Chain A
Amino acid sequence: MKIAILGDSYSSSIAFQGANHFKSWSELLTRKYEVNNYSENGSSLYYMKSMFFDKIYNEYEKIIFCITAPGRITFKVDTAERNPEYVPWYRHIPTIWTIDARIHQIKELTDLDKKRYKILYDYILEIQDIEYEEYIHRMMVLDILKKRPDALLIPAFPTSLVDQVDCLENVTKMEDAVFGKRTGFYGDERKCHMSAKNNEILADLVEKALLSDDVRVDLQLGNFVKPSPSEGVLLIDL
């Protein structure tokens, strides 16, 4: 079976600073299937849809689309064109806290990109209309389903899909509660923001959905397991 995976850090195999402690659920699927993973950390739904889905949607038997949260922004990054050390995720803005980190930590940012980031910060803080973002997000999901009604949609966040019961972030939060950590405020060396065991469980659940032609994965929290506290070493203080 030829599978395409699209999404954000919940479906990519890139952890914080390239940590590679175990295989992600998306990598585990490659044991049995031919998988191309287009996911990028921090990416917006618009980016994934326009850069990849619209171009490849009819080339695969199965599409797995990990649906991110509304309101993420992607913009052209000057640094990308001028710097050989460019990392694709410079252009993705998952949250407002990302911007502050980027401006201060990324030395190779051009002055224009620093200016753009500051404008974006003000935009998200003062202007961005979440009701509009959620509406457009719903419309994009409908547009995806128009082209691939059989796409397997996996909600990453509580606001990803209108009809979802659970989401992947809830698995992360369950684990973080064991570690005593506030979700998102650390460098995460867990691939897909969950433990090795929970990645394996998710891989099995995804495979089950694919083989039964379901369009949703059973993400009930009871399907996942609490990690041992010692696995908290993979959450790096920033």
Chain B
Amino acid sequence: MKIAIFGDSFADDRINWKDKWQDVGPSWVDYLRQYHNIDNFSLGGSCLYYSKKKFDSVDLNLYDKIIFMVTESARRYQVIKEDSPDEHKNWNWTSSMARAGQFPNDKKYLETIHNFFVYMHNESDEYFRRLMIEDIRRKKSNTLIIDYDDIWKISLKEINYWKKRGYELKKYEDARKCHMTEENNLIFGKLIQDSIEKIEVVINVDHFVDPIKNFEHYFR
């Protein structure tokens, strides 16, 4: 089957593993690659609108199946410079301030984005998220949609096992492909493979396992 995948870092197994973390095992996408011809258009940190624009830009007729990882609503697409890489066109309320230090010339824009999230963001983005999902279904009705809210729980289970809080993770880079351990990537890959003919997947976090390798293997 020829499959296209769209989404954020829960489906992006390329961006951070090109030149580093070569010792981290395969992703769930790698599992599917054993059986299918995959084009992975996902981008870590991207918003749903970015993924939707990518989805609209490809010839969907070339694909037997689309897998769409739908990210959270509190992300925005904003092109500050036309020649910026795609990862610098997607923002959430923490990444905007984190990057203000790296890109001092763009500080005003990044502060504006951050302030928007803090003071202006409201329930309308959840509604707009639903509208985009409906639009995706209209264009490719057999798309398998995976909701961020479901898959995030797997990642959280692992972090809880290591007894870490969110703020403690900021000192590290997450070397887990798709924010999951190697074992859970395998379980998730099998789950998606079993669900490949469907349009939704039921994710039961109890079917995923505690990490076998230690925290330092995955958080560098």
Binding site for B on A (CB under 8 A): 46, 50, 73-76, 115-116, 119-120, 122-123, 126-127, 129, 132, 135-136, 139-140, 142-143
Residues B128 and A136 in contact, CB atoms below 8 Å apart? yes
Residues B108 and A126 in contact, CB atoms below 8 Å apart? yes
A residues less than 8 Å from B76 (CB atoms): 127, 129
B residues less than 8 Å from A74 (CB atoms): 124
Report the Cα distance A50→B124, complex, angstroms: 9
Binding site for A on B (CB under 8 A): 49, 76-79, 108-109, 112-113, 115-116, 119-120, 122, 124, 127-128, 131-132, 134-135
A residues less than 8 Å from B115 (CB atoms): 119, 122-123
Residues A76 and B109 in contact, CB atoms below 8 Å apart? no
A113, chain B: closest CB distance, angstroms: 10
Report the Cα distance A75→B119, complex, angstroms: 9
Residues B77 and A116 in contact, CB atoms below 8 Å apart? no
Report the Cα distance A46→B108, complex, angstroms: 28
Residues A127 and B112 in contact, CB atoms below 8 Å apart? yes
Residues B122 and A139 in contact, CB atoms below 8 Å apart? no
User: Which of A126, A132, A139 meets B77, CB within 8 Å?
Assistant: A132
A residues less than 8 Å from B134 (CB atoms): 139, 143
Report the Cα distance A178→B116, complex, angstroms: 41
Residues B124 and A119 in contact, CB atoms below 8 Å apart? no
Q: Across chains A and B, which 9 residue pairs bring their CB atoms closest together, nearest first?
A: A139-B131, A122-B112, A119-B115, A123-B116, A136-B128, A119-B119, A46-B124, A126-B112, A116-B119
- A selection of 27 A-B contacts at a CB cut-off of 8 Å is A50-B124, A50-B127, A74-B124, A76-B122, A115-B119, A116-B120, A119-B119, A120-B120, A122-B108, A123-B112, A123-B120, A126-B108, A126-B112, A127-B78, A127-B109, A127-B116, A129-B78, A129-B79, A132-B49, A132-B77, A136-B131, A139-B131, A139-B132, A139-B134, A139-B135, A142-B131, A143-B131
Report the Cα distance A116→B109, complex, angstroms: 16
Report the Cα distance A139→B127, complex, angstroms: 10
B residues less than 8 Å from A129 (CB atoms): 76-79
A residues less than 8 Å from B112 (CB atoms): 119, 122-123, 126-127
